[in-house]
Structure formats: structure tokens, C-alpha cells
Structure 1
Amino acid sequence: MTLSPNQTLERNRRLIDDLRARPAETPWLEFKENNADASLIGKLVSALSNAARLADQHFGYLVWGVRDGNHEAVGTSFDFATKREQGQPFELWLANRLQPGLDFRFEEVDYRGVRLVLLTIPAAGTAPIEFDRISYVRIGSATPRLSDHPERLRALWARLQPYAWEAGLTAQFVTGDDVLARLDYANYFDLTGQRLPDNRHGIFDRLQADRLIQQDVGGHWNITNLGAILFAKRLADFGPSLERKGVRFVAYGGPGRAYAVTHRQDGQRGYAAGFQGLIDFIDGLLPRNEHIGSAFREERPLYPAIAIRELVANALIHQDMTITGAGPLIELFSDRMEITNPGAPLVSPDRFLDAPPRSRNEALASLMRRMRLCEEQGTGIDKVLTAVELHQLPPPDFRTEGEAVRVVFFAPRRFADMTPEERVRACYQHAALKYESGQRMTNATLRDRLGIDPRNASQASVIIRLAVGSDLIRPADPEHPRAGYVPFWA
């Protein structure tokens, strides 16, 4: 969200009030009167950015026009807009000497009748910030090289490792009323199983504890990416970058995208706030088979609900949030469902079942698990494949397509109608699922999985030979062929 000029001016004034009220400068805050030395400013930008990350601050600040000793606002003659260095505009000169690139911002502030200059410096995000290929840090009033203080360098790298998209800010300097109007806070308390506090202080305290919001200056608040992507009442309220991460659903009238679109929904709510509504919407569109029980007829969906729920949750959790203009996509065809999320996988798709779980969005994943919107870490794909086998569906296809992951989830089909590739993939997934549960795949278990008549055991044998020849499975004990089979990575 972009602040209006009046909001920006008011926030800057409130920010400077807070900075001046501090008893002394901090490692991420520096006051100057008129010092315009370009090299000094470059070193300070590096030092303040690195120090801000060490102190868990989103920004460092350099303020001209405030006296260092007593923090009196005396004004400044420093003019960043007209200053030139080596024939270049000063801001361009500075930007070209900072690595990695840094979105710093100079602003002139009319502060109580005196002219100040505020430089806002984002905290280091992915690596220590260098000026002219050297990293600096603030220690007291000194600005030494970071490499001369290895203990601080180690601490900085430790801080950089967990830094994630979720911690970024999507709305700044909003009032408490705005926070409550934009975030579905009641849903947050309901999903996390907490009692809704009877006062605003209690509400904000809990939202801040889960890093959905953070305090800004002058009694205002910031809303984090995590807070907005999970609990936004309307993602559009947070700008186009967040709005495009809404879940998009498209249903087609046939087996391909050339067929007419029968239903379309572009998600506008945050993932947690809108999750159950999305699942119910999908469930209402799914075709059903009639099942005759001992006394009643009942309709059952073609796709197991737990598998859809888990696959959708996985797409939300494991997407690469830094890819702009893209979000999770769910497509329903007459013979399958495809779920796509932006971002190359962190592990190979054929190892989704067994590889240690990894996520780009740990805070998002952790909170969604706490709210029971998805399975515990590492068990989701197990649940999907177990449900697929129980319903004797064709094996889902987990694949990488460009910079995205796509899962193709097929409608029921007889064994005779499966392709050879699908039969081999089913064999591999069955062997992996058996191994993960402490068992081994055999000809008999594969026949049960695929619905092969026991009189046609040779069909299962052919599939096993193909899977072995494709290096997807191997004999558990080559000396004892009847010992069963395990996946290639076992």
C-alpha cells in the first residue's frame, strides 16, 4: 500500500519524533547536521543496513539536521537532490556502489519549521550490504569493517538465513481501526483456538505475537505480508502484488483449455480466511458417483476430499512468494484436476514423499499447521497417496513445468485404461508408500492397488519389471526375490 503525500509527511514527522526521543544513537540510527561527504555516507548506509538486521529492525535511519548531543532539530543545508559525485547525481552514484542492491530512500521533511533530510535504509535481506565491495557495521560511534569483527559477521549471517518474504511489510503507518477493518482478526482467533480478547490491546498483542502486524511510529501499525496473505478480507486492499497471489480457480467444460470456461473464481480473501470457502466451492463443483450401501444410496465425490485439501494447502505453502504476478492456480477438467504453484521445487518431485520437508515460507506453513488447515509437516503427501490408493485412482503426476510445480490429479479410470507410464508411476508410488509405513511392495499388494484380478498376476509382474528397468524400484533383497520391492532411494 502506498501512502499519500500527507500520510508520508505525517509518518516522517512521527518517526523523527520517536528517533529524537531516544536517549542516544543506536547501531541503526545516526544523526548528522550538514556532513555531506559521499564516501562517509556510503559507509554509513552499509553499516546501518547491516546493524538494522542484527537488531531485528526493518530499517536503519540517517537524519540530517539533528544535533548529535542533545537531539535538537537545527536544520540542515545538505541537499541530496542537487548533490553530484564524479559527474553523477548523488543517489545514482550511491546506488551503483551498494551490493546487493538496496532500495534506500532520501526525503526532505518540513519538521517544526526547520528543514531535515531523512534517509531510510532497508535492513540487509539476503547478504551483508557492501559499499565499494566492503561491508561495514556500527559499533558505538565507530563504523569499522564488518570483516574485522567476525563475531558480528557470524551473527549477521545467522540473522539473514531465516529472513523471509513473510516478514516484509505490505502496509505501513495504518491506524488500529484500519488493521481491524482490513484483517479478519475474528477468524484468526477462531482458527487458532484462542478466546477473542474483550479489548483492542489484547487483540493487537496476539496479532503482533504471531507477526501478523508490528508497531510503527506514532501509535500506528504495519501489516506484514504474512498477516495480509493469510487474513486479508480483500487482498486488493494491499496492492496488486498481493492481489495477484490470490488463488485462481477455473473449471472447463471438457478435457482441455480450448473448451468453454464453466466456472471461474479469483480469490480475494487471505489464504486462511478463505480456505474453507475455497474447498467447499471446489467440492460443490466436483462430479459424484452414486454408491449403494446396505440400505441407502449416497453420492460420493470422484476425488477424495482429504487429497484435494492437502494438495491445495501444499500449493499455498510451497509457492515462491517472490515471483511477481503469479499465484496458485486450480483447474478442473472433465477427466482431471491440475493444481499449479509458482516456483521451482526445493526437492525433486519424485522425492516429495520421503525427502525431509522443506518450505520457502516456514512462518506461513507453521501457522497453517497450527490452524489445522493442512497436515503435520511431512505427512501431507502420504495422506494424498493413501487416499488415491484407497479409491484406486490413477497415480497423481507431480511434475516441474518451467518455474512452477504442477500436480495432475486424475478422475477414476480402470486399470485397462491406464497408460504404461501411469502403471509404472503407480508402482513406484505404491512401493514408496509401503516403505514409508515399514512394509514392502509385493506382486499381491500391487494387484490390490491397481485392481488386477489375481488370475492375471503376470500383469503386475510386467509392471514391476518395467519399474525396475526404469530404476524407480529395486528388490529389497536380491538373494530372495519374494522379499518384495522398495523404492530406488531406500
Structure 2
Amino acid sequence: MSEQRTLALIDDLLQRPAETSWVEFKENNADAQLIGKLISALSNAARLADQPFAYVLWGVRDGDHAAVGTTFMPSSQLQQGQPLDLWLAQRLQPAIAFNFELVDYHGIRLVMLEIPAAASSPVEFERQAFVRIGSATPRLSDHPERLKALWAKLQSYAWETGIAAQFLSGDEVLARLDYAAYFDLTGQPLPDNRQGIFDKLIADHLVQADVGGQWNIANLGAILFAKRLGDFSPSIARKAIRFVAYGGLSRADTVTHRQDGQKGYAIGFTGLVDFIDGLMPRNEFIGKAFREERPLYPAIAIRELVANALIHQDMTITGAGPLVEMFSDRLEITNPGQPLVQPERFLDFPPRSRNEALASLMRRMRLCEEQGTGIDKVFVAVELHQLPPPDFRVEGDAVRAVLYAPRRFADMTPQERVRACYQHAALKYVTGQRMKNASLSERLGIDSQNAAQASVVIRQALKAGLIRPADPAHPRAGYVPFWA
């Protein structure tokens, strides 16, 4: 935290008419047990009050909030032979990044403790959660109504609401964010005054008011509309989407093209998709009268899979962002984070996203399909182009989607044929139809005189438990996916 912001923050805290549930004033009381309970209580209270941080300020008289100075020295205080901050950290669950700061406040020595609001679960000290009620610090379990309210707040808390940049002037905010693109993509007229611009940015949770008349840029605002992601912390900058093209089948082959994203997702998305499309090999297609070149992969499939990687990634995994890799025979799109839905159920399950605000705003900007239709469109496009079935798989702490270049049925592996059969049955089912031998033959490009080949694939998919007869009593009724 900058010295200027620290002083502005203390001014703001001291001007409050009374202590709040997330602010505590002390003079010299440095009891370690008390501080531990306060960290738990204030962290939980800050989340209840929708505050990103809570504060304890030493050197302030409780009655009139006058700055009188303190003798408390957290950096030199020991508790059971350990430094105070280490002793506290070992007794707090989950771990939170609290921070003591020595402050020269107009010549008066103060100590400020900054406490992040609870993010994933109630913060406990020595296996007990506390909360702030008035000037009291009771156990949270003794107040079930507050515990219930806290869990409701925690469930809706998301990475998007975090702070990407703090204590900026209005000019600095507008210099870092492409606000004109925001208005253009959301279909809103650009206001003719600064207040109108900030009102809209606040309404979409892209920026927040800070102390001292300054501003914060939220993670959501930075990741979508940053002119340069590198202007923000590494946790934001490393979320830039990367593209790498290889000259062969593996990552050991020569890198022919590389592009590291510099812009926020919203303003860089279309350019990235166009860049990939421009590098993509073309196949010659001969129609009834003309020859034409078609891209190796359907544009809608690439667009949807890239959008899904952006929306569904786990933003809390640091040092990793979405990655698009092009090989001579396939396109791989990887995003960090375990899936919230098993890959084989991507088509039929209602979509779940860790980043609801990000997903909602990208849909408003028409950068991705309406909720629940993106994967459908990928499967439809792949079948229309008679490509091998896409593969969705979990690899470590990441999800990888793979699009394969055109290949004849004879060149597909047995696993690919069975996967194509399952995906075809699922796509038919969600559109109110049933897979049959004839429809699978068409999907796989099998000539009618070789329909027995489709029957073999169906038997293999049945054996694998991926499909089942729609009506066992009527074999010609077709097949449905195992979950139908």
C-alpha cells in the first residue's frame, strides 16, 4: 500500500462517527490472543459488510478517535518464543494475508493491521470462528443468523470482485481501461462527461470508489478491458491468453508463430480469433459449380472453445492462463482449473461457471453464445464438417479441449469412433431425436453399402456403457446416451 493511500485511509477511518463492525481502534493493547480473535472476527464481519478489508488501528483513543500514538511494536513482539505475525498465522484457518504496517501519521506513531475479508469460508482462530457485534467479539456459532448470512455472502463472492489496482486517480483509471470499447461492445452511448462514464463502470462492477476521492479497478474490469494487462499485478498479467503454433505434431517441433495476449479479453478476443483463422490451413471444397477454400476447423467451434476457456478457468490458480496451441493435425485449447462438470456431461448439464460476472458480461457483448448453447454449436459444426470428435479431458489442474483435423473413418482410432458415437447420440437426444445406424453412418462418412461398420461402432459404444437402447423392446427405436 502506498504511503499516500495509507494516510488517506486513516483519515477516512478516523472521520467515522463510531467504530464499525470492520474497524477497531486501540491505544496500546497488544495481547496476542485478543489480536487473533479480532482478525477472525473482523475478517468475517468485513465479508458480511461487503468490505474487501477490515482494519485495527493502534494509537487512536477510542472515545474521540484522536490520534495519540502507541508503544505497540508488532515486528519485535514475541509470543511463545515466535514472532507475533508467525504465531498468529499458524493459528488462523484458512490462511489470510493480514499485514501490520507502522505509520508516521503527521508525526504521530500509529500501527495499522489490514485484514482481508473472508473469501472461501469463515476465518477461525484456534479452530473457533468469531464475529464482531458492536464492541463485542463473540463466537460466530453463538449467532446462527450471522453464520447463515456469512455463508450466503461467501457463496456469492467471486474473484471478479477483487481489486486489481488500488488508489488511482480518475485519469489513471481511464488511461488503463479501454472504456470506449466497453461502451461500444455493450451497445451503450458514450456519455459526454466523466461522471456518466464512471457511473456505468461502477454499475457493471468494473471499478470501485476508494478513499481520498481515488478509485480501484476491479479484477473484472482489468481482465476484460485492460489496454495492457502488464500494467497490473502478475496475478492479472499472467492470465493473458497465449497462442503458439508448431510446425509438426508435437511441442518439440519448431515454433512457427507465437502471440502473447497484451489486451483484456473483451478487447482482444476478436483479434485473437481472427489471428488464429488467418494462420489456419485451408482445404479445397468442390461444390456443384465452384471450388472454394474452407478453414481446417469451423470458426464457430474455435470461437466457442476459446470463449469457454476464458470464462470457465479458475482465476485463483496463479501463474497460468488460457493457452491455444496449433499443431499440424489438431488444435488444443487449455484453461487452468478442474471442471465443475464432468467433461462427458458438458453437452447436457446446465453450465456452471466460477466467473459468473465475466460470463454474463461476455454474453452481453455477444462474444460467446447464450448460456448452455456453446458446446452444442461445437458438436454441430464438427459433425457438419465430418471431423473426428473433439476430445475434452482433464489433465492435472487444467481442462483441455482438442479439435482434430479432417480424417477419414478408416483413419480414426477405435476410441475416436466410440467417442463420436457417444457425442452423436447425445447431440441427437438434446435436440429431441434418437441416434440410429443411418444417422451415425452419415456422421462418420460411411457409405450406405458399408453400414455394418456403423453397427460395429454402436456395439462398441454399448459395451463401453456410453449409450443404451432407447427402447430395449424395440431395437429399431434407436439409441440414447447413458444418462438419458
Scaled to the shorter chain, the TM-score interval is over 0.9
Aligned counterpart, 1:261? 255
Alignment map for 1:128-167 (pairs within 5 Å): 128-167=122-161
> Which of 327, 331, 336 does residue 337 from structure 1 map onto?
331
User: Is 1:424 the equivalent of 2:418?
Assistant: yes
Q: Name the CA distance, whole Å, in 2 between partners of 1:260 and 1:141.
A: 65
User: Is 1:93 the equivalent of 2:55?
Assistant: no
Report how far residue 356 of structure 1 moved: 2.0
Q: Name the CA distance, whole Å, in 2 between partners of 1:172 and 1:449.
A: 54
User: Is 1:19 the equivalent of 2:13?
Assistant: yes
> Which of 400, 424, 427 does residue 406 from structure 1 map onto?
400
Aligned counterpart, 2:481? 487
Deviations 1:154-191 (A, max 9, x none): 10111111222222212111111111111111111111
Report how far residue 290 of structure 1 moved: 2.7
Q: More deviation in 11-20 or 318-327?
A: 318-327
User: Is 1:117 the equivalent of 2:143?
Assistant: no
Aligned counterpart, 1:238? 232
Report how far residue 294 of structure 1 moved: 5.2
Deviations 1:228-255 (A, max 9, x none): 1111111111122222211111111122
Q: Name the CA distance, whole Å, in 1 between partners of 2:162 and 2:251.
A: 36
Q: Name the CA distance, whole Å, in 1 between partners of 2:295 and 2:420.
A: 21
Report how far residue 289 of structure 1 moved: 2.0
Aligned counterpart, 1:52? 46
Q: Name the CA distance, whole Å, in 2 between partners of 1:40 and 1:468.
A: 64
Aligned counterpart, 2:166? 172
Aligned counterpart, 2:27? 33
Deviations 1:204-244 (A, max 9, x none): 11112111111111111111211111111111111222222
Q: Name the CA distance, whole Å, in 1 between partners of 2:404 and 2:301.
A: 11
User: Is 1:450 the equivalent of 2:444?
Assistant: yes
Q: Name the CA distance, whole Å, in 2 between partners of 1:351 and 1:221.
A: 42
Aligned counterpart, 2:471? 477
Aligned counterpart, 1:375? 369
Deviations 1:430-462 (A, max 9, x none): 000000001000111111111211111111111
Q: Name the CA distance, whole Å, in 1 between partners of 2:445 and 2:81.
A: 77
Aligned counterpart, 1:190? 184
> Which of 264, 268, 271 does residue 270 from structure 1 map onto?
264
Q: In structure 2, the residue corresponding to 1:120 is in which secondary structure?
A: strand
Q: Name the CA distance, whole Å, in 1 between partners of 2:325 and 2:144.
A: 51
> Which of 86, 96, 99 does residue 102 from structure 1 map onto?
96
Q: In structure 2, the residue corresponding to 1:218 is in which secondary structure?
A: helix
Q: Name the CA distance, whole Å, in 1 between partners of 2:217 and 2:340.
A: 28
Code of the residue aligned with 1:93 in structure 2: it is W
Code of the residue aligned with 2:196 in structure 1: it is G
Code of the residue aligned with 2:413 in structure 1: it is T
Code of the residue aligned with 1:233 in structure 2: it is K
Aligned counterpart, 1:352? 346
Aligned counterpart, 2:58? 64
Q: In structure 1, the residue corresponding to 2:371 is in which secondary structure?
A: coil
Code of the residue aligned with 2:138 in structure 1: it is P
Q: Name the CA distance, whole Å, in 1 between partners of 2:471 and 2:427.
A: 18
Q: Name the CA distance, whole Å, in 2 between partners of 1:261 and 1:160.
A: 44
Q: Name the CA distance, whole Å, in 2 between partners of 1:429 and 1:410.
A: 15
Deviations 1:76-109 (A, max 9, x none): 2222122222222222222222111121111111
Q: In structure 2, the residue corresponding to 1:161 is in which secondary structure?
A: helix
Query: Any stretches of 5+ residues in structure 2 without a counterpart?
Result: none
Aligned counterpart, 2:284? 290
Identity of matched residues, % = 76
Report how far residue 291 of structure 1 moved: 3.2
Report how far residue 292 of structure 1 moved: 4.0
Q: Name the CA distance, whole Å, in 2 between partners of 1:458 and 1:132.
A: 67
Q: More deviation in 191-200 or 304-313?
A: 191-200
Q: More deviation in 275-284 or 372-381?
A: 372-381
Query: Any stretches of 5+ residues in structure 1 without a counterpart?
Result: none
Q: What is the Cα-based RMSD across aligned positions, in Å?
A: 1.3
Alignment map for 1:211-250 (pairs within 5 Å): 211-250=205-244
Report how far residue 464 of structure 1 moved: 0.8
> Which of 198, 207, 219 does residue 204 from structure 1 map onto?
198
Code of the residue aligned with 2:148 in structure 1: it is R
Q: Name the CA distance, whole Å, in 2 between partners of 1:76 and 1:209.
A: 41
Q: Name the CA distance, whole Å, in 1 between partners of 2:124 and 2:253.
A: 54
Q: Name the CA distance, whole Å, in 1 between partners of 2:33 and 2:477.
A: 72
- How many residues of Structure 1 are paired with residues of Structure 2 in the alignment? 484
Q: More deviation in 230-239 or 53-62?
A: 230-239
Q: Name the CA distance, whole Å, in 2 between partners of 1:45 and 1:422.
A: 54
User: Is 1:441 the equivalent of 2:432?
Assistant: no
Code of the residue aligned with 2:122 in structure 1: it is P
Q: Name the CA distance, whole Å, in 2 between partners of 1:406 and 1:49.
A: 36
Code of the residue aligned with 2:259 in structure 1: it is Q
Code of the residue aligned with 2:184 in structure 1: it is D
Report how far residue 284 of structure 1 moved: 0.4
Q: Name the CA distance, whole Å, in 2 between partners of 1:418 and 1:327.
A: 31
